[in-house]
Amino acid sequence: MANKENTKLKIAIIHPDLGIGGAERLIVDAAMELASHGHNVHIFTSHHDKNRCFEETLSGVFPVTVYGDFLPRHILYRFHAVCAYLRCIFVAFCVLFMWPSFDVVLADQVSIVVPLLKLKKSIKVVFYCHFPDLLLAKHTTLLRKIYRKPIDIIEERTTGMSDLVLVNSKFTASTFANTFKHLNAGGVHPSVLYPAVNVDQFGEPHASKMNFLSINRFERKKNIDLAISAFARLLKVEGNEENDVTLTIAGGYDTRLRENVEYLEELKFLAQKEGVTDRVTFVTSCSTSERNTLLSECLCVLYTPQDEHFGIVPLEAMAAYKPVIACDSGGPTETIKHEVTGFLCDPNPQEFSLAMGKLIQDPNLAGKMGKEARRHVIESFSTKVFGQRLNRYIIGVVRGKSD
């Protein structure tokens, strides 16, 4: 079976919450591409809201099955990690005992499922590590440290039980080695598989408006404050206040998540404080087509997270012929060519506003950079390239190879 490159495999994908975000985008792309290579793909998740998901999950190209949505996501806004573990454990057991065996299971975010899935020796498990969870979690108090300690140990040990570990960037690979020292010493070295973007969904841009666009989930770690502060600083430069320049802040927004609700209000208050409320528009949970329209009509995209593990938004922007202004750290340093497809800046309003000012002063520069950006994404970050690489990894795991 494993001798042929065009082997047709039964592949399960387990993902905690199939909503809208960078991790979900990667999982959907993985399912679409693996299906296009002739494999039978099935996604299993603990939550799939058909009104808040990527359209491809409703297309019928691959089935999506939900198990465990009745289990809590948190207990009084606490114990999110434990609840996520319980929900994913339930999904894994359902896959094991309610379905015929799969050849390969691709899991991400929650590694506790790995040893459970390997109860069936015929199953190969690939774990995609977007970023070590223990670095994302807070360890600020003694109680939180005590709470997180067993979870952090479990994360490292269960991740190492995978047949193959993939990461989303060289930055994450380096972080993985420095964080999971026992795995690194034991020879567990992840392979890099960059996320991708479907370039075909973006046509030639419409006539650009003098609008800067920020696309991110409404979470504090996305540092969207920086976009508002930089925009306000830009308007204070002589001459810019007379331009018809605006800022649109769009992104994933879920009323179930308290941080989303609180942070949106904080951003609105900041815009009011900076005196730019009349020039800032907030768009919550826009559809893919609405997002593509925003990208098509903007001048440039602002990407504000610091030390972002990868960042799919810069790829989407560049695929849509738009330059990107991002922080000079993390994944964007591997995807954006400084002063060619955008600008990599120190994460402060002054540096961002200076880069924004260059595009205001010379709108043709944005068009030139946008064309270079599109070419760059097609060559290195298209879904076709991603699918070919992922398929090789999957076939390699079935053959017993690690790369």
CA distance 229 to 207: 26
| Same domain (yes/no): 92, 204 | no
CA distance 94 to 100: 11
| Same domain (yes/no): 252, 125 | no
347-365 pLDDT tens trace: 999 999 999 999 998 879 9
| Same domain (yes/no): 371, 391 | no
| Same domain (yes/no): 191, 219 | no
| Same domain (yes/no): 58, 172 | yes
User: Rounded to 5 degrees, what angle do the CA atoms 195, 7, 123 make?
Assistant: 75
Per DSSP, the three-state class of 397 is helix
Residues contacting residue 282 through CB under 8 Å, at least 6 positions apart: 248, 249, 250, 264, 267, 268
| Same domain (yes/no): 205, 336 | yes
Residue 12 has phi, psi (to 5 degrees) of -105, 145
Q: Please indicate, yes or no, if residue 286 is contained in any of the structural domains.
A: yes
CA distance 11 to 57: 16
Q: Please indicate, yes or no, if residue 2 is contained in any of the structural domains.
A: no
Q: What is the dihedral of CA 158, 164, 168, 172, to 10 degrees?
A: 60
Residues contacting residue 191 through CB under 8 Å, at least 6 positions apart: 164, 165, 166, 167, 393, 402, 403
| Same domain (yes/no): 376, 258 | yes
Containing 335, the helix (H) or strand (E) segment is: helix 332-335
Inter-axis angle of helices 225-236 and 258-273, to 10 degrees? 10
pTM of the model: 0.79
| Same domain (yes/no): 255, 140 | no
Tens of each residue's pLDDT in the chain, 403 residues? 344 456 799 999 999 999 887 789 899 999 999 999 999 999 999 999 998 888 899 999 999 999 999 999 888 878 888 899 999 999 999 999 999 889 999 999 999 999 999 999 899 999 999 988 777 677 778 887 887 788 889 999 999 999 999 999 999 999 999 999 999 999 999 999 999 988 988 988 776 678 999 999 899 999 999 999 999 999 988 666 667 899 999 988 888 888 899 999 999 999 999 999 999 999 997 888 888 999 999 999 999 999 888 888 999 999 999 999 999 999 999 999 999 999 999 999 999 999 999 999 887 999 999 999 999 999 999 999 999 999 999 999 998 865 5
Q: Please indicate, yes or no, if residue 1 is contained in any of the structural domains.
A: no
Q: Please indicate, yes or no, if residue 4 is contained in any of the structural domains.
A: no
| Same domain (yes/no): 282, 334 | yes
| Same domain (yes/no): 124, 254 | no
CA distance 257 to 143: 23
Q: Please indicate, yes or no, if residue 114 is contained in any of the structural domains.
A: yes
Q: What is the CATH number of the domain that holds 84?
A: 3.40.50.2000
| Same domain (yes/no): 212, 354 | yes
| C-beta atoms surrounding 25 within 10 Å | 21
* Structural domain span for residue 77: 10-196+382-399
101-151 pLDDT tens trace: 899 999 999 999 999 999 998 999 999 999 887 776 777 788 878 877 888
Q: Please indicate, yes or no, if residue 22 is contained in any of the structural domains.
A: yes
How many independent structural domains does the chain possess? 2
| Same domain (yes/no): 191, 267 | no
